Chain A
Amino acid sequence: MTVRVGKPAPTFETKGYHQGAIKTIKLADYQGQWVMLYFYPGDFTFV
């Protein structure tokens, strides 16, 4: 699947850490809001 502006963003559901708790988070939870999803290479790196 190719990601392309103007096309639906790939959906996902995964575990995450937020406000002291580990919870299941999915893209669909944010339907109706703008979402800025950013990937980064890893925890304990420098930038």
Chain B
Amino acid sequence: MTAVAAKYDEIKSLGAEVLAISVDSPYTHKVWQEGELSKIIAGGLPYPMLSDPGGRIGEQYGVYAEEDGVDIRGRFLIDPDGVLQAMEVLAPAVGRNVAEMIRQIRACQHVRQTGEATPAGWEPGKKSLKPGAELVGKVCEIWSPDMAF
């Protein structure tokens, strides 16, 4: 979570906001923020920490684990029209890759702006593909797996 905070300026510069959410109350968020997170990263988390009492929101997103009473580690990228564009769910003990989150924001934005497709491992500046009749059966002429890394 503090890793997301460390890259917050970059995320904001892409026109994106971050919302963290767990079943904890806003008061618990405040105490955690003041007591611990602010010692890991100066100022604590710069983005809102939402409360999901009873996991009602998590349930709608398919990440509420009823047996444990918690929301598991799901991440959802929502576009400016409110449409879901990417999602990832990890086991509770496995942390996220913030660089990959940012790459996915950039890739989704590129697709939205250009109508092109971004191949595996796409980063800004790398080749994207224009779907269409001319490209059918010819991806092999312009793209190879080494371009993904």
Using a CB–CB cutoff of 8 Å, the interface residues on chain A facing chain B are 1-12, 14-18, 20, 22-23, 25, 27-28, 30-45, 47
Contacts and interface: CB of A to CB of B under 8 A. Distances in A.
A8 B83 CA distance: 4
A2 B101 contact: no
Given A6-B83, A42-B22, 19 more contacts: A3-B84, A5-B87, A6-B84, A15-B51, A17-B27, A17-B30, A22-B26, A27-B78, A30-B17, A30-B78, A34-B16, A34-B79, A36-B19, A36-B75, A37-B76, A38-B20, A39-B73, A41-B22, A43-B24
A30 to B, nearest CB: 6
B50 A7 contact: no
Contacts of B105: 34, 36
A34 B109 contact: yes
Nearest to B63: A39
Chain A binding surface SS class: loop
Interface residues of B, number: 65
Contact of A34 (B14, B61, B72): B14
Count chain B CB atoms within 10 A of each CB in A6, A7, A35 and give the residue with the most. Answer: A35
Contacts of B29: 16-17, 43
Contact of B82 (A2, A9, A15, A17): A9
Interface string B14-58: 111111111111111111110010000000000111111100011
Interface stretch (B92-100, B117-125, B130-138, B141-149): B92-100
